[in-house]
Amino acid sequence: MLCVAAAIAREPVRFRQAAVVAQEPLAADVGAEVLRRGGNAVDAAVAVAFALAVTHPSAGNIGGGGFLLARFADGRATFIDFREMAPLAASRNMYVGPDGKATEDSLIGWRAAAVPGTVRGLEMAHRKYGSRPWAELLAPAIRLAAEGVTLSYAEARSICGAGARLGRFDESRRIFLKGGACFEPGEVLKQPELARTLERIARHGARDFYEGETARILAEEMKANGGLITLEDLRGYQAIEREPLKGSYRGYTILTAPPPSSGGIGILQMLGMLEGTGYEKHGAGSASSLHYIAEAMRRYFADRAEYLGDADFASVPIRGLLDPGYIATRRATIRADRATPSAELGAGRPRRESEDTTHFNVIDAQGNAVALTYTINNSYGNAVTVPRLGFLLNNEMDDFAAQPGKPNMFGLIQGEANAIAPRKRPLSAMTPTIAEKDGRLVMALGAPGGPRIISGVLQVLLHVIDFGMDIQQAVDQPRVHHQWMPDRLYHERGLSPDTLALLRQRGHELAEIYAVGSVEAILVEEPRVRAVADATTTGSNVTDRIRWLAAAQNGRSAGKASGY
């Protein structure tokens, strides 16, 4: 028997065999029902992703894209890349105005949208690895869209907070702002146009979205509103199955995201830089350990700016960036007593070969695991809801380097490898990650949060592996983030004044921020599974968003706990 638990206690929720952790509770309920019907981890992931497109519109989507990392009970692993692609009409300088400055067109409005990949990617995952009927997995999302979702305080507040952007577009204003007024908590949000779109996808599969009626309407609305996506763009979109990146750290095997994600390379490179430094001897949260972590981040993000992009278009030196010798040279430049000014630190010279976002994890009773991160980039994407279709579009074109060498909306400096080109996928920070040890599944984790995703995932791994923390402690421990430029060490609240003072003495410029990612994690400690959602979930409070699914052994209930 399965049950769902919602709680605010800062203890992990322990279950016997299987768990799902997501940012929105109704979508996790959908995952519970799939597992009740005998679905596997991929089935549950597909159903949760479609449900989030209804219940969590700031990030859940069918108008965006993302990554799915899966590890199966027999040890096989795969990575499905359904990142958005630039339309054929895209060009390198399309967002540079006559004055040489970047326009807002990459952030808001129809021209900001890249070709969505979510529906194609979920269908590929289901076709290759799912077990339940496709239409069955979409049915809960269709019902939630048609009958309506009772908005929590957090969701109502989130939608209202985006009112200035959503209100610029008639359809978004009509659906999400009731024509001009904010929803109140407890009111019902109905999305009948989205329900009809999902019904067609349930009947006809991804073909409807990329070649059928949905594709036709989307292309018509794009043309009418000055957007770039055409039927040819939609027909040409393909999800890609790739090999996950694989590395080792202190006896653990780390499976993570390859390009066009920048996160997997970052995780493995920074782990490599930290290994052998003895940084962990100073203790979690100490100025010394945080200094080393920040300096590793600084060096990785400098490399990211120079080298990373879509490996199908640019020569990304993956092996060079992860080469132990190269990592050792980067490690050797870290001073124990002093921060390296970013202005004095550029990218290294590796050997070359010839954000808003949501994340969830699933581990089923058979030991299959899925870590899935997907996004429409900014919260509520480009703020455009497609008339007659009911879904929000992404503003993923801003994840390209609209002006190589200048910062994007996250302040990230990006290079020529990530310049805009037709059918190219923008560089991403999404970092679904799975850890195993001695051939046994240990952990699945990931986060939303733009470039801070990478830093958040890294530190939760370090907290578990190097500092021996329980998964709840690992997620709750205050985190830091450094992205090379601007030369600033961001930190969450909770570090001691003495620690902050010592970091300043080492030369770090400090800035407090609300969250370094919002990590969702499941830890397997046989015979139990422990599930954790981050209390710093963006735009919400933990009582509204934490929801776990459990499957108990021998059909016995794992219990249901809820608290507010």
Strand extents, DSSP E, 23-109: 65-71, 77-82
Residue found by looking up tokens 């003072």 in the block: 501
Indicate the residue type of 1.
Answer: M
d(CA 150, CA 140): 15
Residue found by looking up tokens 């549950």 in the block: 44
Q: Is residue 545 a contact partner of residue 23, using CB atoms and an 8 Å limit?
A: yes
Residues that are catalytic: 357
Q: How far is CA 319 from CA 295, 328, 440, in A?
A: 21, 14, 26
d(CA 471, CA 369): 17
* Residue 84 three-state SS: coil
* Residue 428 three-state SS: strand
Query: What is the enclosing helix (H) or strand (E) of 14?
Result: strand 13-15
Q: Which two tokens stand for residue 74?
A: 């027999």
d(CA 301, CA 78): 26
Q: Which residues is 65 bridged to in the sheet?
A: 375
Q: Is residue 73 a contact partner of residue 438, using CB atoms and an 8 Å limit?
A: no
Of 424, 396, 420, nearest in space to 410 by CA: 396
